[in-house]
Structure formats: structure tokens, C-alpha cells
Amino acid sequence: MSSRIEEHPILGVQEKGRKVTFTCDGKAVEGYEGEPIATALKAAGIMVHRYTKKEHKPRGIFCAIGRCTDCVMIVDGKPNVRTCVTPLKEGMVVNTQYGVSAEPFEKQ
């Protein structure tokens, strides 16, 4: 079941940008252009955005307004990108962030 709200009792049908494809950890994921990357990931059921450097604990969306930095990921090779406030673009390459790297800890 999709977590997208098709029609809302107060807001009606929310306008979306065009459908685009991007990748997350190498897998193709669909989302809408201009929405936060985190929204597209949430719709795809992806909960873990990164693992912390010291304790390797998972983190995901927490504040959703760009304050807490829990949801940062590696986007187009750049680490620490706040996915909750970064608009999605066609072809973006998004990777889970391990510490500050795209490499899982066992390969670091």
C-alpha cells in the first residue's frame, strides 16, 4: 500500500511535479520532481537514511524541516545533504551514508 495521500479531505488532490526516476543505493526509485528526496524515499518504503559514525546506529526522517540533520545522505557524491529539504531531480544518485561515507563500514 502506498503511503502517498491520493486525495485529502481538506486539501483535495495535491499537485505534484512530473514523475522522475532516481537511484537509491543503485536501485531505481520513482518520485515526483521538486518534492523533498526524503518524501520520495518514504513513498518507496525506505526508512534508513544513514548510520552514525561511532555507533553505527540507523537514522531516518526526524524533524522534516532541515533542522536536525538526521536524514542526511550522500546525494550525487556529496555527503551530509539534508534530504528532507532538498528537491528531487531526475537521475539523482542517492546513497545511504555510513558515517560520512557512501562505503559501508566493513569496507571503510
Contacts with another protein, residue ranges (CB under 8 A): 1, 3-5, 7-11, 14, 16, 35-36, 39, 42-43, 47-49, 57-67, 70, 84-85, 87
Q: Considering beta carbons, is residue 3 or 107 the nearer one to another protein?
A: 3
Closest distance of CB 82 from another protein, Å: 11
Query: Which of 14, 7, 62 lies closest to 38 in space, CA to CA?
Result: 62
Q: How far is CA 51 from CA 4, 36, 47, 68, in A?
A: 26, 20, 12, 15
Cα gap 85→27, rounded to integer Å: 22
H or E element at residue 54:
none
Closest distance of CB 92 from another protein, Å: 17
Closest distance of CB 18 from another protein, Å: 15
